[in-house]
Amino acid sequence: MTSTPLTWVEQDTTLGVAEDLTYSTTLLRAVQHGDITGPLVRLYRPEPTVSFGQQDTRMPGYEAAQDQSRAHGFTPIVRKVGGRAAAYHHGSLIIDHIQPEADAMFGFRKRFEYFGELFTSVLHGLGVNAAVGEIPDEYCAGEYSVHAVLSSSHRIKLAGTAQRVVKGAWLFSTSLVVENAEPVRAVLTDVYQAIQLPLDPATVGAVDDAVPGVTVADLIDELQLAYEQRIRSEKPRGEASSHIVEMSWSDLQERVPPTVDP
């Protein structure tokens, strides 16, 4: 027997702030319709962005929050999944894992647990004392926030996660701040003040706050290693080991042209 390989794509140029986000949905539809077989992981370093949740748009200070985003050099966008405002920039990494699944809603909660454990494991490999769980007064608060424990009294959020499910496929997206947290901290402080939501700026951080010198490239290398190890360890009995197949960014765009999500 053979197993479908995992396609690994490192995006090296941006489509644009909104277009990068939309392309995640385009890829989800491609996997859903069988244009791409098997699981796909797409990684990219985003442009400076404040990603607002749907609830944020109904807050009295939303327009002011957009203005604050732009004043800090971050482009405001609104995402389709839930949660509150989050920010990321060139020192961050977005990881989209897209996979076909006959019953995509099954295991919805388990996927949060699985990827939370995956990313804490990756961070442990880089020397970070990482854990999963909500930090009081963190941005885009969530039960499965990935954070670093700097001391018994100081934790910093490193990553947030979200899912989108369609018939026959799912998308699990992780935004991880790796380098230079200060611009993210500064913009979120002003954004949360504008929309009148609690935020402790001390909870906003990056991986290199926990382990100085860690880069986005280091994170990618550790993440790919973790995927390779899990592919080997999780294969069904009697099934040949699957593997990672790297695809160039240009080849992926040729295979699945960027389109506007309806």
* 204-218 confidence digits (pLDDT tens): 999 999 999 999 999
Give the H or E element holding residue 159: strand 154-166
Q: What is the mean pLDDT of residues 41-54?
A: 97
The token pair at 236 is 């069904």
Q: Evaluate if residue 176 carries a pLDDT over 80.
A: yes
CA 199 to CA 192: how far, in whole Å? 6
Right CATH number for 6-255 from 3.90.380.10, 3.30.930.10, 3.30.300.30, 3.30.9.10? Answer: 3.30.930.10
CB burial class (10 A; 0-12, 13-18, 19+) of residue 67? middle
Lowest mean pLDDT among 84-93, 145-154, 237-246: 237-246
Going from N- to C-terminal start, the domains of the chain cover 6-255
* 71-98 confidence digits (pLDDT tens): 999 999 999 877 899 999 999 999 999 9
CA 199 to CA 210: how far, in whole Å? 20
* 118-144 confidence digits (pLDDT tens): 999 999 999 999 999 999 999 999 999
What pTM was estimated for this model as a whole? 0.94
Q: Evaluate if residue 171 carries a pLDDT over 80.
A: yes
Give the H or E element holding residue 49: strand 49-52
Q: Evaluate if residue 228 carries a pLDDT over 60.
A: yes
Q: How many CB atoms lie within 10 A of CB 22?
A: 18
Q: Evaluate if residue 235 carries a pLDDT over 80.
A: no
Q: Evaluate if residue 239 carries a pLDDT over 50.
A: no
Contact 219, 208 (CB under 8 A): no
Half-sphere exposure for 39 (CA within 13 Å, toward CB): 18
What share of the chain has pLDDT > 70, as a percent?
Answer: 94
Q: What is the mean pLDDT of residues 158-179?
A: 96
Q: Is 184 helix (H, G, I), strand (E, B) or coil?
A: helix
Query: Residue 1: pLDDT band by 50, 70, 90 thresholds?
Result: very low
